[in-house]
Structure 1
Amino acid sequence: MKKYLLLLLSAGLFFTSCKNDDDIFPDDNGDETQKTANDYPVQNFMYQVMNSFYFWQEDVPNLADSKFKSLDDPDYISFLASEEDPGRFFYYELCKNHVDAVGNASAQDRFSRAFENYKDLVNSLQGISSSNGVEFQLYLAKNDVDVYGVVTYILPNSDAFNKDITRGDIFNGVNGQTLNVSNYLDLLFSNNTSYTLNMADLSGDSIIGNGKEVALNKIENFSENPIHIKKIIEQNGKKIGYLMYNSFLAAYDDELNDVFGEFKSENIDELILDFRYNGGGRVTSAIQLASAVYGTETDKLFLRARYNDKIMSAVETSSVENYFTNETFDSKTPLNTLNLKKVYIIATDRTASASELVMNGLAPYIDVIHVGELTVGKSEFSDTFVDDPLTNYLYTGNNDGSINPDNQWGIQPLLGKNENADGFSGYEGGLVPDYELPEDISNLGVLGEIDEPLLAFTLSIISGNTAKKNFASTSSKSPFAHSKIFSATTNAMVMNGLLNR
């Protein structure tokens, strides 16, 4: 699809030249000075991309094709100059009712993102970040002011991996300061490379500090392997493959293929995919995983992409269709596939985008048994854009040297929606579980162990013993934030993301 977008841009869907004309604007000192789009490189770059690609382009008055005559239209220059903060310009002036501008209740666009440094965006999409290895969710205390965190898992080979901290542990302070709604962002998400967590215990509805401290240090350029757990569980004469997969990252596609090779060689009877913390990632990785489950039938439609009207009117139908695959996307390695008729998927309110794509894309072909909670509800996809006119602003993975040195911003706008072979994409409210069970913060269990509540529940469904056991959750509060809220892979579905290590 990327080649079609390049052709469209080359054909002139947006202004392609900048003329030094007689557009005169007074500066702060009252002197007359000539201004052009080049004087507002970030805003100009953002506008060009959004006017061409943004899914809701025709619904945003500022992006209307009739709004400005050309790059040197005085009204266009005034528009670029109207907001000094590029982030605010993007969310408030170019997006359709972005959540950052209008709040959750009125938001249409919940997922378009702008990054001051495109390298942070690119690294995040490859699973590379500055991390101490503690993944957590944040909750409001009963006074609706104080905040506490619950550890969800620890990343292998991280600083935290050998520290006295594990899944289910609770913290309520950082560096001796009690976490609250006013300071948690600064304390937990600043650029500081180290901090100390003040640990706590859950006592009824109360969070009480226990005096324990855990000092943590971030590792720069830390790579998270999304294949968190893989194992085979034997139950009632059946072999059940279990894979906890936390992000769709292209760099691990070959390793993912090897996992399915192991499952295939063991001749597993059932498969459980654990997407409970998977916020998405690259679409090609999702197609690979779905094909590994269902089969390498390259004549069967997996998804159909729907872009904005001016792109859809200029491309052939076949160019927006993606089929199941028989090989990995980058290395072209033959794909290991299980040819299953049924799959069990653990999914929660952290499950989004490419994860939901796998669930929705498989639904027309096999029985998808969804265990857990209502998912996020993101059928929209995106791609990465930088200020490089030579590639018509698309980030290719090879164009770092030609990106405007005066503008290092990167944006990840929503470009369209993906629908499955039945034409369904309307799950903005989330995918509804067949068997509902939220995580219980008072009893999280050990991931991958057969008594971990969500896995145990899924195994009971497979065995038919669900009614014989009590899987009620006693403390299932919904988190308001988590450790990956600023990650580009959170709720991401990168359509062609040519990102690979």
Structure 2
Amino acid sequence: MKKVLYFFSIILFISCSKDEPFSIPGTVSPNPDADVDVQDFMWKAMNYWYFWQNQVPDLADDRFVNTPEGIEAYTNFLSSEENPADFFDNRLLFEEDRFSFYNEDYRVLTQSLSGISRSNGLEFGLVRFQSGQNLFGYVRYIVPGSNAATKDIQRGELFSGVDGQTLNLDNYIQLLFGENNDYTLNMAEFVDGALAPSDKEVSLTKEEALSENPVFISKSFLINGENIGYLMYNQFTNEYDDDLYTAIENLKTAGITNLIIDLRYNPGGSVNTTRLLASMIYDTNTDNLFLRKRYNDKLQPEFSKERLEVYFADKVGNREINSLNLSKVYVLTSASSASASELLINSLEPYMDVIQIGDVTRGKNEFSTTLVDDRDNSYLYTPSRINHINPNVQWAIQPLLGRNENAEGFSDFTNGLIPDIQLKEDLQNLGILGDQNEPLLARAIQEITGSTGKRDFTVKRPANIMSSSKLFSPLSDRMIDDTHY
């Protein structure tokens, strides 16, 4: 079993195994004259679903009682924060929870979880310069068909400022990820080990509803008698399951006997897509357990085995999966590999040899789901029930609900998954993605072919990222469990 280091969360879209919603225990209601409908929804939903419910005193089942005094106390508690966002953050969250979040419009939240966002298509990492306050960015890749794809900018280029302001820890979020639709990157380069501004500038525009096909590269190599498949997959987005299916089918047709999955920039996404990819790689035996869910102590006994356990798949939609039936797979990771990426590794390990190459993953092992004020459906967001959502409460919350265990019962990777072969990306030698000489891909090929040659994998300037564009993407650190059973 692989050792681990960091922390990671997961998003879960829950489908009920019964026709009837789960029963929500009766709880006290606030004074109807108080303007606390949103806070009331948040408290009741968190009291029932939250993974750490029993460790937050204000969420205790007996915290408020249905008496005149109890109603007053409950109303005063809900009114303690006028802004529902502050109420959620300050009164309901467990101190170790870094990943639960909310949105004042459930439509915006659910669209973002489908991988649709406002973006210029430039994917980059951010690094602190010499451990100071200033930052610089390096281009990882560019989304095809995006605004950035029309500009003179490419992988490996550096930038140190935006709109004439030097990037630092205090301003980078506002400059790069704020409400501004347009910004100009001030490019830079290394000169004698120091970061120096260049004369180049690149102006970019964020576009509404930019959707990225996560199947970024799919190809095969014949090297030293080994037929090697390579798939760079940049997020687990179920809207592109057909593209993923086609990519694997093409690799199978090509006769590959080895597979390298590149998840170095993959922040997570759909649990069902993760299950489908695992089945395409390993096997389609639907008796093999893919994961087991663990909820809070109040909910766990309430759910059936069918609800808690998810198995490998034999179909994508109506199409049979022609599995590669591999006994070993090579996975490229970085500190940006998170959630569903980690789930793929963790859930395959009981069944096959997973050789992880790269950097320690982010470490997010909790799942969550979208909750809205649909009380007859146990607060679960269900697209077909949007007319049942309280019209006075359009907020949605996305709290952590539990952890996913693999077939061996392992889920403790809050510190990240440690690679078998550690190799960070080198800012001075990023290489071309999909080229067999790109360092991480080349190291995996070397492991497959057993050919050491004279290749030097020394990293001269490691990409020790402190943030990235992916961390601000809709699916960052998410594992959306959209499995139906």
TM-score band w.r.t. shorter chain: over 0.9
Structure 1 position 2 matched with structure 2 position 20:
no
Partners of 2:307 and 2:379 in 1: CA distance: 20
Deviation of 1:41 (Å): 2.2
Deviates more, 1:446-455 or 1:203-212: 203-212
Q: Which moved more, 1:302-311 or 1:403-412?
A: 403-412
Match of 1:392 in 2: 378
1:12 equivalent in structure 2: 24
Q: CA deviation at 1:18?
A: 4.2
Q: Hey, what's the Cα distance between the residues in 1 that align with 2:39 and 2:176? A: 30
Structure 2 CA distance, aligned partners of 1:96 and 1:82? Answer: 18
CA distance in 1, matches of 2:163, 2:30: 54
Paired residue for 2:121, among 120, 133, 137? 133
Structure 1's 209 and 258: CA in aligned 2 closer, same or farther, altered over 3 A?
same
1:83 aligns with 2:96: no
Q: 2:276 aligns with which of 277, 288, 293?
A: 288
Alignment of 1:339-418 (within 5 A): 339-418=325-404
Are the equivalent residues in 2 in contact too, given 1:254–1:333 (CA < 8 A)? no
1:194 alignment partner AA: D
Q: Is the 8 A contact 2:46 2:59 kept in 1?
A: yes
The CA distance in 2 between the partners of 1:205 and 1:69, in whole Å, is 65
**Aligned twin of 2:50:** 54
User: Residue 3 of structure 2 corresponds to which residue in structure 1?
Assistant: none
Q: Which runs of 5+ in 2 are unaligned?
A: 1-13
Cross-structure match for 2:7: none
Whole-angstrom distance in 1 between the partners of 2:239 and 2:348: 23
- Is the deviation greater in 189-198 or in 140-149? 140-149
* Structure 2 CA distance for aligned equivalents of residues 168 and 161 of structure 1: 15
Show the 5 A alignment for 1:245-264: 245-264=233-252
Q: Partners of 2:186 and 2:198 in 1: how far apart?
A: 8
Cα distance 1:242–1:477, how it changes in 2: closer, same or farther (>3 A)?
closer
TM-score, normalised via structure 1 length: 0.89
1:186-225 pair list within 5 angstroms: 186-225=174-213
Query: 2:217 matched to which residue of 1?
Result: 229
1:259-299 CA-to-partner distances (Å, cap 9, x unmatched) read 11111111211000000011111111110000000110001
Preserved CA contact (<8 Å) 2:267 2:471: no
1:428–1:368: structure 2 CA closer, same or farther, 3 Å change rule? same
Contact 1:14 1:51 in 2 (8 A): no
Comparing 296-305 with 85-94, greater Cα deviation is found at 85-94
CA deviations 1:376-405 (Å, max 9, x no partner) are 112211111123334332112233444344
Whether the 8 Å contact between 1:139 and 1:149 is mirrored in structure 2 is yes
Residue 315 of structure 2 is aligned to residue 319 of structure 1: no
Q: Cα distance 1:295–1:389, how it changes in 2: closer, same or farther (>3 A)? A: same
8 Å contact kept, 1:457–1:466: no
The answer (yes or no) to whether the contact 1:8–1:314 under 8 Å persists in 2 is no
Which whole-Å CA distance do the structure 1 matches of 2:47 and 2:401 have between them?
11
* Cα deviation 1:424-463 (Å, max 9, x = unaligned): 1111111111000011112111111111111111111111
Give me the whole-angstrom Cα distance separating, in 1, the residues matched to 2:269 and 2:231: 17
Aligned equivalents of 1:432, 1:6: Cα separation in 2: 42
- For the residues of structure 2 that align with 1:93 and 1:225, how far apart are their CA atoms? 39
Match of 1:453 among 439, 444, 453: 439
Is 1:469 the counterpart of 2:455? The answer is: yes
User: Alignment partner of 1:181: what SS?
Assistant: coil
How far does residue 157 in structure 1 lie from its aligned partner after superposition? 0.3
Q: Answer yes or no: is the 8 Å Cα contact 2:294–2:300 preserved in 1.
A: yes
Within the alignment, does 1:148 sit opposite 2:161 as a pair?
no
Instruction: Extract structure 1 runs of 4+ deviating beyond 4 A.
Output: 4-8, 17-21
TM-align CA RMSD: 2.0
**TM-fit CA distance, 1:173:** 1.2
Residue matched to 1:94: 92
Deviation at residue 42 of structure 1 after TM alignment = 2.0
- Secondary structure at the residue paired with 1:398? helix
| Kept after mapping to 2: 8 A contact 1:386/1:395 | yes
Higher RCO (Cα < 8 Å, 6 or more apart): 2
Distance in 2 separating the partners of 1:5 and 1:96: 30
Structure 1 contact 387–407 (Cα < 8 Å) conserved:
yes
Determine the structure 1 residue equivalent to 2:479: 493
Paired with 2:136 and 2:80, the residues of 1 have a C-alpha distance of 40
> Does the C-alpha gap of structure 1 residues 215 and 297 become closer, same or farther in structure 2, counting only changes over 3 Å?
same
- Checking the alignment, whether the CA contact within 8 Å between 1:6 and 1:392 is kept in structure 2 is no
- The one-letter code sitting in structure 1 at the alignment partner of 2:351 is Y
Contact 1:288 1:324 survives alignment (8 Å): yes
Give 1:26's aligned residue: none
Shift of 1:210: 0.5
Distance 1:335 1:364 in 2: 21
Q: Distance in 1 between matches of 2:408 and 2:339?
A: 18
TM-score of the aligned structures, taking structure 2 as reference length: 0.92
Aligned to 1:63: 59
Residues 40 and 78 in structure 2, CA contact (< 8 A), matched pair in contact too? yes
Answer yes or no: is the 8 Å Cα contact 1:141–1:148 preserved in 2. yes
Aligned length: 469
Q: Secondary structure at the match of 1:142?
A: helix
SS at match of 2:307: helix
Identity %, equivalent residues: 46
Contact 2:471 2:477 in 1 (8 A): no
Aligned to 1:123: 111
Contact 1:383 1:496 in 2 (8 A): no
Partner secondary structure for residue 470 of structure 2? coil
Q: Residue 258 of structure 1: CA displacement?
A: 1.1
Shift in CA distance, 91/497, structure 1 to aligned 2, threshold 3 Å: farther
Look up the match of 1:31.
Answer: none
Q: C-alpha distance in 1, partners of 2:293/2:217?
A: 31
Q: Secondary structure at the match of 2:346?
A: helix
